[in-house]
Structure 1
Amino acid sequence: MDQSDEIVLVGCGNMGFALLEGWVGRAGIPAGRIHVIEPAQALRSRAAAVGATVHADAAELPQALRPRAVIIAVKPQVVRSMLCAYRRFGGKAAFVSIAAGVPISTFEATLGETAIIRAMPNMPASIGLGVIAAFANAHTDDGQMAYVNNLLAAVGAVHWLAEEKLVDAATAISGSGPAYLFHFIECLTEAGVAVGLSAETALALAKQTVEGAAALAGTSGFSPAELRHQVTSPNGTTAAALQVLTAEPGLSELMTRAVAAAHRRALDLAVA
């Protein structure tokens, strides 16, 4: 890896740190080649413990630095104010934003004609099982897309989208989706307690059932609908439960409404 393969990571909160760990632990990128800019001492120390080169401010970056990628992992509200500090990398580095709701036009207004990619990783990226929806602007070449794809793949599965507006739609599914599943586990646990199980046993059964079912859905050649039919015996216990879940308003309608609400909120939060 030569100097052109160095990475600048701006912000090292939960998602930024997940990326850092993925690059070092899974992608095999030498930690010292990753420059982390993080004003918070505790977060900076955490990145330094992994071996990254840490800085409190962009002004501390070496003048000779020529990163291949600049990853923006800060709060959406501060993106516009901090971009100027990285303008010198425009036209050379690929900029990757994981700041929710910030359109590519915001980056182009400051950085000019440069490769810019919007990416939306979700929470399981912290254990390498994330889903990342991504969109690249017209200034991103194939080599840059392939390089960024490898960086993002260190924390999960990457899905490239045809239009930027679809990033907000993907956010409502994969970005917010883990919360839907966590709530389902909560509800299934409460239902287990209601029929007599201890809270500890109900939680264990709920978590392991969701984990196993998700793994089966991900590896099976059958569709989710086909798998559901396989586990549903006529007039059996599962059929009785599904009659409740499909009664109006059924789970399908509730999920459609929930995702639509998340999508609307993503659009409302977009930073112009």
Structure 2
Amino acid sequence: MSFSKERPFLLVGAGKMGGAMLAGWMAEGIDPASVVVCDPGLSDEMDGLLKSHGIRHVAAVPDDLTAAIMLVAVKPQMMDQVLPGLASAVEADTLVMSVAAGTPVTKFQEHFGPVPVCRCMPNTPAMVKRGITAVYPTTEVSEGQKQDVTKLLSAVGKVVWLDSEDQIDLVTGVSGSGPAYVFFLAEALSEAGMAAGLPEELAHELAVATVCGAGELMHQSGDHPAALRQNVTSPNGTTAAALDVLMHAEGLQPVMTEAVAAAVQRARELAQ
């Protein structure tokens, strides 16, 4: 990795996403001496993690710190407040990474100049190292920096590279917001079980285990979801009867398409 104690990796914001990534990097054996965390309001859990690894923590970026890589993991509405205070840590070759939804690369270049920027869209399964992060790099990002980004983000899941920044909003609608859709599926399945007559606790247990198990089967098999669906659907059986409802012209697909479109539209509004 192209960062060191002298020119460290600077993590700005150690909340849920930034914290999950940091925990993943520590598990991968990144040198704690080469990492600096900037966050004025650490949680007790994160404070404990930093202390246990001996990672330097600052409430604001000191004047003598120059980052090799800087990951900005603060909320989009905080950008105008936070970015001016980071400029002293950025040089022309500093790689700036962002995981903030709705914040275009131009926002960072307004504050830091034409530096290399990677706009990243991770998702919450990164917390259990099963995330997927889509990355859009500006033309200033070198091949070596791309390799660094891939190594860093692979610690919390898969990494895919995008051809255009416009695709970030589309990714947001599918994988960025997607875990919430799956959580709601488990909720809905549990509610349906209760409506059919199951006790609440049992319906919840069955629904959660089914969603988790199906996801793991899909992950391990590598088969297309359609093939897996067909494999468990006997002609004229119980699953087929249920799928006749879900796959109706007014069933799940048009609702999911509308939901993703709504998330994409909101992501575009946040970028304005």
Query: Is the structural similarity TM-score above 0.5?
Result: yes
**Structure-2 separation of matches of 1:255 and 1:5:** 45
1:20 paired with 2:22, answer yes
- How many angstroms does 1:50 deviate by? 4.1
CA contact (8 A) 1:133 1:159 kept: yes
Partner of 1:179: 180
RMSD: 1.7
Aligned to 2:43, the other structure's residue is in SS state helix
Residue 3 of structure 1 aligns with which residue? 5
Distance (whole Å) between structure 2 residues aligned to residue 54 and residue 20 of structure 1: 13
Q: C-alpha distance in 1, partners of 2:42/2:112? A: 28
- Cα distance in 1 for partners of 2:249, 2:165 equals 34
Length-normalised TM-score, structure 2:
0.92
Corresponding residue pairs, total: 267
User: CA distance change for structure 1 residues 111 and 53 in 2, over 3 Å: closer, same or farther?
Assistant: same
1:196 is aligned to 197
Quote how far apart the aligned CAs of 1:80 are.
Answer: 2.6
**Is the aligned partner of 1:109 residue 2:103?**
no
Whole-angstrom distance in 2 between the partners of 1:201 and 1:31: 44
Counterpart residue identity of residue 121, structure 2 = M
1:254 and 1:237 map into 2 onto residues whose CA distance is 23
Aligned-pair distance for 1:5?
A: 6.0
- Give matches, 1:1-272, under 5 Å: 2-3=4-5, 6-25=8-27, 27-42=28-43, 45-51=47-53, 52-59=55-62, 63=64, 65-88=65-88, 89-270=90-271, 272=272
Q: Deviations over 1:26-79 (max 9, x none)?
A: x211223211111115366245334321011113x6x1x443210101111221
Partners of 2:269 and 2:263 in 1: CA distance: 10
How far does residue 87 in structure 1 lie from its aligned partner after superposition?
2.2
Structure 1, unmatched stretches of 5+, are none
Percent identity over the alignment is 41
Measured after TM superposition, the shift of residue 11 of structure 1 is 0.8
Relative to structure 1, the CA distance from residue 48 to residue 222 in structure 2 (aligned partners, 3 Å threshold; closer, same or farther) is closer
Post-superposition CA distance 1:244-270 (Å, at most 9, x none)? 112231111110011001100110111
- For normalisation by structure 1, the TM-score amounts to 0.92
Question: Following TM superposition, by how much is the alpha carbon of 1:96 offset from its aligned partner in structure 2, in angstroms?
Answer: 0.3
| Matches of 2:42 and 2:128, distance apart in 1 | 24
Give the letter for the 1:8 counterpart. L
Counterpart residue type for residue 250 of structure 1: G
